[in-house]
Structure 1
Amino acid sequence: MEIKMPKLDVTMTEGTFLGWLVPDGTTVEEGEDLYTVGTDKVSADVPAPTAGVLRYGSAAEDETYAVGTTLGTLEV
């Protein structure tokens, strides 16, 4: 399952990836916070949509990505 840049509000078109909250290869539970995203209005921790093993993608900290860009994956 792909982990993507979320759309935090109706006007959001991009966000800044602020970093992972758990190490690569960690087994996570549904609802566990995986990473932090920032916009000009807010920063938010984004939870896992399902349980699985987190695998980092090519997302770099403090880089801006369009909504829907794949940041990593969850192996379920």
Structure 2
Amino acid sequence: MEIKMPKLDVTMTEGTFLGWLVPNGATVEEGEDLYTVGTDKVSADIPSPAAGVLEYGPVEEDETYPVGTVLGILHT
């Protein structure tokens, strides 16, 4: 399952990836916070949509990415 840059509001077209909250390769539970995204209005911790093992994607902290960019993979 792809972990993508979310759309936090109707006008959001991009967000800043602020970092992972769990280590690469960690087993996570559904609802556990995975990463933090920032916009010019808000920062939000994004929860896991399912249980699985997290694999980081090729994204850098404090970089801005379009909504829908794959940030990582969740192996369920």
Band the TM-score falls in, shorter-chain normalisation:
over 0.9
Structure 1 unaligned runs (5+)?
Answer: none
Give percent identity, aligned residues only.
82
Three-state SS of the structure 2 residue aligned to 1:15 is strand
**Alignment-mate amino acid for residue 26 of structure 1:** A
Using structure 1 for the length normalisation, give the TM-score: 0.99
**Between Structure 1 and Structure 2, how many residues are aligned?**
76
Q: Does 1:70 pair with 2:52?
A: no
Partner of 1:40: 40
Partners of 1:68 and 1:9 lie apart in 2 by 13
* Deviating 4+ runs (over 6 angstroms): none
Using structure 2 for the length normalisation, give the TM-score: 0.99
Partner of 1:14: 14
**Alignment-mate amino acid for residue 29 of structure 1:** E
| Backbone CA RMSD of aligned residues | 0.3
Partners of 2:59 and 2:47 lie apart in 1 by 17
Partner of 2:49: 49
